[in-house]
A and B are shown apart, each in its own frame.
Chain A
Amino acid sequence: MSKLQQRFLRGEFALTAEMAPPKGYDFTEALETASLLKDRVDAVNVTDMQSACLKASSLGLCIALKQAGVEPILQMTGRDRSRMAIQAEFLSAAAFGIDTVLALTGDHPLVGDCKASKPVFDLDSVGILKLLSSMEQKGTDCGGNALSSTPKFCKGAAVTPVYEPLFLQINKLKKKVDAGAEFVQTQGIFTIEALESFMNEVQRHNIKVKVMAGIIPLKAAGMARYMNENIPGICVPDHMIARLQAAAEEGKEKGIKGLPMNAGMDMAAELIREIRSRGLCEGVHIMAIGAERNVPVILDRAGL
């Protein structure tokens, strides 16, 4: 049983973080970052060419993390692989002891940095989960042929709590859970109210799934405004932007660098602390977007 599943089973607050493989083949820095996360989180998501920008593969870095003693979560999108290629990746992952995966549809190549790449999307997030569940239940491949050995994964998916119309997210969440998702990590949430109203919907629809609230530590007011404008499902409230702005001004006055980033870490820690103390959901998932080194500090401040 995966470390994450054990955590859920014991009813303990679960923690995951997220990192991206490099745009190159030297994993040294990625492994250094991972070592900082090692004893602080239950598992580390490795993204699969997030935002459709070319990177080393998720499986590659997942194997390296596993060998370094860090539990990886293999992210798998349907963007670049047919169902055969997807299943082949999962089998290889299992051979290296990788036991937790996250199924995503993936961003379209046109929003990324290799725009001419063929969009595959043979399977979407629901299709990938169905493929895994059917493999586990029947011991077969995507063509219905018997496998010589069949792995079992702890399966996750993503969900966007702030979504218009929310009915469609809840509807799709149901499909993902029916298809075998045991846990979901949410898009970054910035207010307790956003999480609460989403959790109310999950409960109202009686969806049985472990929810890990997505936390994005903000680095600057400009970053927050940019995300509000451009990233679907992101809604940073004005008071947070004002706090980052004030920190920037204070830094300028006193000649100190990094105050906005520090304020962002404080806000992230406050959110985590409140989510945990009120038991709003089963855990948090920290997406530091390049600033993974800050994750241990955020956890310290959140009392974890």
Chain B
Amino acid sequence: MIVSKAKPIEAVLTMLQGVQKVGLVGCKSCASACAVGGEKECQAMQEALEAAGFEVVGTVLPDESCHKMLLRRELKPLVAAGAEALVSLACGSGCQTVADNVKIPVYPANDTLFVGQTERVGIFHEMCRTCGDCVLGETGGICPMTKCAKSLVNGPCGGQKNGKCEVDPTNDCAWILIYQRLEALGQLHKMEKTLEDHSPRSYPQSVNVREAKK
């Protein structure tokens, strides 16, 4: 899922300067799962804004804040109630989708961190940089683009020490993990292959699944 963390409330208050009536938009999907955009967090945001002198005209909690068609309907009551600005408690994609649907300013309450794994409640790990050309089949199911600090395709680098990464000695070196996994899977020969260089995609992407199927 998309993992986000809440901005300090002061940052939200600063963005809202000059506004009186505010609407809140949460998200029942990822943002609820990482406890930044669910019912509880929307309630807390309402209290904080009211304490700071704002009027909260309403809160909506769509199933997915990043679904444009869905949001068109959901946002109507907030606009009708006279909101001068909206605060999005979703990820960056959700916040932008809200903004695509209204003609008033929309401000993010969260910082979007990564596409990640929930190890257990409250503990998340970055797993995928959405490179668009997945190599997990070659690397024992461990992503070098994400887990290696240099996104190396031919690791490990010389900075590895005792299985840890040169950048942060509390982080495992991704390529040592890949090596161990491939060895355990009996696929060590895959280490010998030189992978293609993966430069990150440099412009925005879209897909149309229906057209792709034709």
- A residues with CB within 8 A of B: 82-83, 105, 107-108, 110-111, 119, 121-127, 130, 158, 160, 163-165, 167-168, 171-172, 174-175, 178-179, 187, 232-233
Residues of B near A107 (CB, < 8 A) are 159, 166
Those of B127-170 within 8 Å (CB) of chain A: 149-162, 166-168
Chain B 167-181 interface 0/1 with A at a Cβ cutoff of 8 Å (1 = within): 110000001100100
Cβ contact within 8 Å between B154 and A124: yes
Cβ contact within 8 Å between A171 and B150: no
Task: Say yes or no for B211: interface residue by CB 8 A criterion.
Answer: no
Report 13 cross-chain contacts, Cβ distance below 8 Å, ordered by A residue. Answer: A105-B152, A107-B159, A110-B149, A111-B166, A119-B149, A124-B153, A130-B194, A158-B158, A174-B192, A175-B194, A178-B194, A232-B166, A233-B158
Cβ contact within 8 Å between A108 and B194: no
Residues of B near A123 (CB, < 8 A) are 197
Tell me, in angstroms, the Cα distance from A174 to B154 when the chains sit together: 11
Cβ contact within 8 Å between A232 and B153: no
Sample of 9 further A-B pairs with CB below 8 A, known A121-B150, A122-B199: A105-B150, A107-B166, A121-B151, A122-B197, A124-B152, A124-B197, A158-B158, A160-B158, A179-B194
Chain B residue nearest in CB terms to A178: B194
Q: Using known A-B contacts A110-B149, A168-B179, A171-B191, determine if residue A125 contacts B156 with beta carbons closer than 8 Å.
A: no
Chain B residue nearest in CB terms to A165: B179
CB distance from B202 to the nearest CB of A (A): 10
Cβ contact within 8 Å between B159 and A108: yes
Residues of A near B191 (CB, < 8 A) are 168, 171
Contact size class for B? 20 to 34
Residues of A near B179 (CB, < 8 A) are 165, 167-168
Tell me, in angstroms, the Cα distance from A162 to B7 when the chains sit together: 45
Tell me, in angstroms, the Cα distance from A108 to B197 when the chains sit together: 18
Cβ contact within 8 Å between B154 and A125: yes
Question: Contact check: which of B153, B155, B167, B199 meets A108 at CB < 8 Å?
Answer: B167
Q: Using known A-B contacts A105-B157, A108-B159, A158-B158, determine if residue A124 contacts B150 with beta carbons closer than 8 Å.
A: yes
Those of B183-214 within 8 Å (CB) of chain A: 191-192, 194, 197, 199
Cβ contact within 8 Å between B150 and A108: yes
CB distance from A17 to the nearest CB of B (A): 20
Tell me, in angstroms, the Cα distance from A126 to B166 when the chains sit together: 19
Chain B residue nearest in CB terms to A142: B197
Residues of A near B159 (CB, < 8 A) are 107-108, 111, 232
Chain B residue nearest in CB terms to A172: B154
Q: Using known A-B contacts A105-B152, A171-B191, determine if residue A82 contacts B158 with beta carbons closer than 8 Å.
A: no
CB distance from B107 to the nearest CB of A (A): 26
Cβ contact within 8 Å between A110 and B194: no
- Among A111, A127, A160, A233, the one with the most B-chain Cβ atoms within 10 Å of its Cβ is A127
Tell me, in angstroms, the Cα distance from A232 to B165 when the chains sit together: 10
Tell me, in angstroms, the Cα distance from A158 to B159 when the chains sit together: 12
